[in-house]
Amino acid sequence: MPWFRHPIHYRLLDPANTTPGAARPLFSEESAVQVLLAPTALFAAPIRMSLRAYVPLEVEFAPQQWLSSRRVMIDSGAGLSTFSAEWAREFGIALPPRSCRLQLDTATGRVSVTVYDLDLNVRFPRLRDCPFSLAVVFSEAHPPTTPPLIGLHNLLNYWRFTFDGSFDPAAAMGHMRFDTL
Amino acid sequence: MSRAPKPGVPARPFWELEPVSTDAIRSDHVTLPSVEDQLPSMGDLLTLPRLARVAYAARAARRVQPLFEKLWPSAPPREVEAVRTAVSFAEQIAEGKSVAVPGPDRSFPARAAGLAANAARRSGTTLLTLAGIRVSAYSAAEAAAHAAYAGVIFDAEFAFNATYHAALAAGDGATVIEAVYHDFDSLHQTGSRLRWTDETPVPVSILGPLWPQTEPDWWREANRTEPNPRPQPKPDLRPETRPDFLDRAKRILGGDIRPDDYLPVTQEVEAHVTRDLAFAGEHVQKQFEAGRIPAAFEIDPNARFDEFGLTVGAKQRNEWLLSLYYGGQNIACIENEHGVIVLAVGLKNSAKLLDAFPYEQRKDVQFDAPDRPDTFGW
C-alpha cells in the first residue's frame, strides 16, 4: 500500500525566563547572533525545542483546482480538522450557507464559535494519486494565519499515521509515516 | 504612600547617575538600578486587588505610548498597532471586559508588543532626546508588553515591570514616578474604601487626568501635531510586497529566476540554523550515551531524509527565513535548495496570485503563514 514519511520539524527558541528571582524578563534579544552562537550549555532548561508535526497538503478549492498548503498541522489530540473560514473564503472555497455554533473547550477556556461543515477533497503532494475527502470544520475563530489543523475525524478512514522517534541523520527528532488503508 | 526617597537613593535624577551610551540601549537599562528603588515595590503592588494592578500597569504604559510612534516615525504599522493594542488590552482587562484576541493564546497582545520592542531596538533610532529629555521608544513598547502581560498573568512583577519600563522610556523619570505614585495611592485608597476584591473592575478613568500635576514637556512634544505631515513609513522595498508583484510572479513562474529573487540569508538566519543543528547533534549524542541508539552520528546539513525532501540545512534555513521575514503573515512562496522566493504577501495578494495562474503553472507555489520567530507552538 502506498505510504510516505515526513520529518518532524524542530527549531530552538528562547522563552523568556519568568522564574522568581531570575533576571527581569526582557523581550528584547541580547545581540541576536551572539546569543544564538553561544555555547551549547545554553540548551539547558527551560524547554527550548519547538517540535512541529507539519506536512504539506493540497486542497481542491474549486473543481480540479488545487492549492498547495505548505504546512498543515497533524494533531492527534484534536477530534476535528479545523481550517480558518476567512482563509477559505479568500481562496474561493465555497462555504455552505448554513453555519452552526460549536462549544469548544480550549486551553484558555470555553469558547463558542461559528463553524461551517464541508467535505473537502485533499491530497498529500507526495501521494497525489491518493486524494481523499476530509471532513473539515471551517471556523470563524480560526485566524487565517493559523495553519490548518488536521484532527482525527475521518482522517483515520483513509490513513494510518505514525509518529516515529527513530533517529535518522536527516530527521534527528523523528518523522511521521502515513500509510494508506 | 510616602514619596520620600529611600535611604541610599541619590536625589539626582537617574539619568544623571551614569553616562548613557546612545549606541547601546540595553546598557542604559542595566546601569540604572535606582529607578527600581524609586517605584512602588512588588510587595506594595501585592496590596492592590488584581484588576487594580492591571489598571496601574496600563496607566503607566499609556503615559509613554506616544513615544513609540514619535521616536520611530517609520515604524511599520504592525508594530505601532501592536503597542497600541497592548495598552488598550490591559485597560480593558482592568475594566473587567472580555477582550477577544487572535488565537487561543491570551498573551498574544503582550507578545506582539514585545516583538515591537525588539523591532524598535533593531531600528537603532529609538533612544532620542525630546524636549531636552532622553526618551526611548523601545522602553515604551516594553512597558506596553508588560502591561498586557499583567492583564493575562496578573503577576505583580509584570505590573511593576510596566512602571519600570515606563520610567525608562521617559528619561524624565521624575514625572513618571510622581504619576505612578499618584496612581498607586488612588487605587490603594479607593480600593480600601470601597472594599474592592480581585474581581472588581477598575476603569482607568477613575484615576483622573493622565498627568496629575503638569504634563511633562516631552509628552506634549510627543503629542504635538506636526506642522508638516508625519513622515510616511518608508515603502517596503521587498519586491514581493510591491503592487506589481503579479508581474514579478509571472516572470519567476515562467522560469526567469534571478539570484536576488531569493530572500537574503542574513547572519541571524545562519546563526539560527547553526544553533539548531548543534542542538540536534547534542541531542543525538545524549541519546547515544544513554544507550537509546546503537551509534552516535553527526548531523550533516547536506543529508536528505529521502529523495523528495530538501537537505537538512536547507530545510532549517528556509523555515527561519520565512519566520524572520514573514512570520505571522500569509504568503505564497517557492522553496528549494537555493532558498525561498516569496511571490505574494498577505492573504488577499496570495488569493490574487492563486487566481492569476493555473495550477500547472503554479504547482510549486506553496501557501503558508510561517510561525513568528518566537512562537513556541500550540
Predicted confidence (pLDDT) per residue in A108-140, tens digit: 677 788 999 999 999 999 999 999 999 999 999
- Give the Cα separation of A169 and B280 in Å (integer): 9
Average pLDDT of the residues in A19-30: 38
Pairing mode, strands A49-52 and A9-12: antiparallel
* Host domain of residue A146: 54-162
pLDDT score of A3:
94
| Structural domain includes residue A99 | yes
| Structural domain includes residue A23 | no
- Give the Cα separation of B185 and A42 in Å (integer): 43
Q: End-to-end alpha-carbon separation of chain B, Å?
A: 43
Per the model's pLDDT, the better-predicted residue between B195 and B30 turns out to be B195
Q: Is the pLDDT of residue B75 over 90?
A: no
| Structural domain includes residue A91 | yes
- Give the Cα separation of A83 and A117 in Å (integer): 10
Interface of A with B in 58-87 (CB under 8 A): 61, 64-71, 73, 75, 86-87
pLDDT score of A118:
93
**Contact predicate B29/A30, CB 8 Å:** no
Per the model's pLDDT, the better-predicted residue between A70 and A21 turns out to be A70
Per the model's pLDDT, the better-predicted residue between A123 and B116 turns out to be A123
Pairing mode, strands B133-136 and A49-52: unpaired
Average pLDDT of the residues in B171-178: 79
CA nearest to B368, candidates B323, B336, B303, B317: B323
**Contact predicate B141/B116, CB 8 Å:** yes
Indicate the pTM of the whole model. Answer: 0.57
CA-to-CA separations, A149 to A1, A143, B127, in angstroms, rounded = 25, 12, 43
Greatest mean pLDDT among A86-90, B29-33, B36-40 lies in A86-90
Q: Is the pLDDT of residue A39 over 50?
A: no
Contact B274 A49 (CB under 8 A): no
Cβ neighbours of B275 in A, within 8 Å: 12, 36-37
Cβ neighbours of A173 in B, within 8 Å: 280, 283
pLDDT score of A106:
67
Average pLDDT of the residues in B17-46: 57
- Give the Cα separation of B82 and A29 in Å (integer): 18
pLDDT score of A66:
94
Average pLDDT of the residues in B183-203: 89
| Structural domain includes residue A49 | no
Among A43-47, B90-94, B277-281, the minimum mean pLDDT is found in A43-47
Percent of chain A clearing pLDDT 90 (strictly above): 52
Interface of A with B in 5-24 (CB under 8 A): 5-7, 9-15, 18, 24
Q: Crossing angle, helix B77-94 and helix B137-153, to 10 degrees?
A: 40
Average pLDDT of the residues in B81-87: 91
- Give the Cα separation of B22 and B18 in Å (integer): 12
DSSP string, B297-355: ----TT-BSSSSS-BHHHHHHHHHHHHHHHTTS-EEEEEETTEEEEEEESHHHHHHHHH
| Structural domain includes residue A180 | no
Interface of A with B in 86-125 (CB under 8 A): 86-87, 90-92, 106-108
Q: How far is B24 from chain A (nearest CA, A)?
A: 10
Contact A70 B287 (CB under 8 A): no
The DSSP call for residue B170 is: B
| Structural domain includes residue A13 | no
3-state DSSP call for residue A15? coil
Find residue B367's DSSP bridge partners.
A69, B332
pLDDT score of A82:
94
Q: In which band, very low, low, confident or very high, does the pLDDT at B5 lie, cut at 50, 70 and 90? A: very low
pLDDT score of B117:
82
Among A9-18, A57-66, B239-248, B359-368, the minimum mean pLDDT is found in A9-18
**Contact predicate B268/B324, CB 8 Å:** yes
pLDDT score of A7:
93
Cβ neighbours of A73 in B, within 8 Å: 378
Q: In which band, very low, low, confident or very high, does the pLDDT at B2 lie, cut at 50, 70 and 90? A: very low
Contact B280 A173 (CB under 8 A): yes
| Structural domain includes residue A25 | no
The DSSP call for residue B261 is: G
Q: Is the pLDDT of residue B155 over 90?
A: no
**Nearest Cβ partner of B271 from A18, A25, A33?**
A33
CATH number at residue A66: 2.40.70.10
Q: Is the pLDDT of residue B127 over 70?
A: no
- Give the Cα separation of B188 and B114 in Å (integer): 29
Q: Which residues, 6 or more positions from B205, have their beta carbon under 8 angstroms from its beta carbon?
A: none
Q: How many domains does chain A have?
A: 1
pLDDT score of A19:
41
Average pLDDT of the residues in A44-48: 55
Flag whether residue A44 sits within 8 Å of chain B, measured between CB atoms.
no
| Structural domain includes residue A141 | yes
Rg value, chain A, Cα: 20
This complex has an ipTM of 0.87
pLDDT score of B209:
86
Cβ neighbours of B155 in A, within 8 Å: 18
CA nearest to A9, candidates A52, A72, A63, A44: A52
Burial B45-55 (b: 16+ CB within 10 A, else e): bebbbbbbbbb
pLDDT score of A78:
87
- Give the Cα separation of A151 and A1 in Å (integer): 22
- Give the Cα separation of A59 and A68 in Å (integer): 6
Q: Which residues, 6 or more positions from B23, have their beta carbon under 8 angstroms from its beta carbon?
A: none
pLDDT tens digit sequence for A69-83: 999 999 988 889 999
Q: Which residue has the cell 513609513?
A: B233
Q: In which band, very low, low, confident or very high, does the pLDDT at B214 lie, cut at 50, 70 and 90? A: confident
Cβ neighbours of A66 in B, within 8 Å: 359, 363
All cell numbers assigned to B346: 498577505
Going along A80-174, which residue ranges are E strands?
81-84, 100-106, 109-123, 132-139, 149-150, 159-164
- Give the Cα separation of B31 and B128 in Å (integer): 18
